[in-house]
Amino acid sequence: MTVLVGIIVILFATLFLLVPMLEKHGRERSPDELQKISRWMTPLMVIMIIAMAIRYFLG
Protein backbone atom coordinates (compact mmCIF):
# COMPACT_ATOMS: atom_id res chain seq x y z
CA MET A 1 0.00 0.00 0.00
CA THR A 2 2.83 2.39 0.78
CA VAL A 3 4.34 1.78 -2.66
CA LEU A 4 1.04 2.77 -4.28
CA VAL A 5 0.85 5.96 -2.22
CA GLY A 6 4.46 6.75 -3.12
CA ILE A 7 3.78 6.32 -6.82
CA ILE A 8 0.70 8.55 -6.64
CA VAL A 9 2.64 11.24 -4.74
CA ILE A 10 5.44 11.17 -7.33
CA LEU A 11 2.94 11.40 -10.19
CA PHE A 12 1.16 14.41 -8.71
CA ALA A 13 4.46 16.11 -7.87
CA THR A 14 5.69 15.74 -11.43
CA LEU A 15 2.35 16.97 -12.74
CA PHE A 16 2.53 20.11 -10.61
CA LEU A 17 6.09 20.73 -11.80
CA LEU A 18 5.85 19.76 -15.47
CA VAL A 19 2.55 21.39 -16.45
CA PRO A 20 3.67 24.94 -15.58
CA MET A 21 7.07 24.31 -17.20
CA LEU A 22 5.46 23.08 -20.41
CA GLU A 23 3.05 26.01 -20.48
CA LYS A 24 5.92 28.45 -20.03
CA HIS A 25 8.47 26.91 -22.41
CA GLY A 26 6.25 24.97 -24.84
CA ARG A 27 5.70 26.29 -28.33
CA GLU A 28 2.39 27.00 -30.00
CA ARG A 29 1.43 24.50 -32.70
CA SER A 30 0.43 25.74 -36.12
CA PRO A 31 -2.98 24.78 -37.54
CA ASP A 32 -1.28 22.53 -40.10
CA GLU A 33 0.54 20.59 -37.37
CA LEU A 34 -2.66 20.24 -35.37
CA GLN A 35 -4.52 18.97 -38.41
CA LYS A 36 -1.84 16.33 -39.03
CA ILE A 37 -2.04 15.20 -35.41
CA SER A 38 -5.84 15.11 -35.32
CA ARG A 39 -5.95 13.07 -38.53
CA TRP A 40 -4.41 10.14 -36.61
CA MET A 41 -6.70 10.32 -33.59
CA THR A 42 -9.79 8.52 -34.97
CA PRO A 43 -7.94 5.48 -36.39
CA LEU A 44 -5.91 5.13 -33.19
CA MET A 45 -9.06 5.26 -31.06
CA VAL A 46 -10.73 2.60 -33.24
CA ILE A 47 -7.66 0.36 -32.94
CA MET A 48 -7.63 0.86 -29.18
CA ILE A 49 -11.32 -0.04 -28.84
CA ILE A 50 -10.85 -3.17 -30.96
CA ALA A 51 -7.81 -4.20 -28.90
CA MET A 52 -9.74 -3.66 -25.66
CA ALA A 53 -12.65 -5.74 -26.97
CA ILE A 54 -10.31 -8.58 -27.96
CA ARG A 55 -8.62 -8.42 -24.56
CA TYR A 56 -12.02 -8.45 -22.81
CA PHE A 57 -13.37 -11.44 -24.75
CA LEU A 58 -10.16 -13.49 -24.52
CA GLY A 59 -9.37 -12.66 -20.90
Q: Tell me, what's the pLDDT at 27?
A: 87
pTM: 0.52
Q: Where do the domains of the chain lie?
A: 2-58
On the CB side of 33, CA atoms within 13 Å amount to 4
Task: Name every residue whose Cβ is closer than 8 Å to that of residue 8 and which is 6 or more positions away in sequence.
Answer: none
pLDDT tens profile 6-56: 999 999 999 999 999 988 888 888 999 999 989 999 999 999 999 999 999
C-alpha dihedral (7, 10, 16, 21), degrees to nearest 10? -120
C-alpha to C-alpha distance for 3 and 13, rounded to whole angstroms: 15
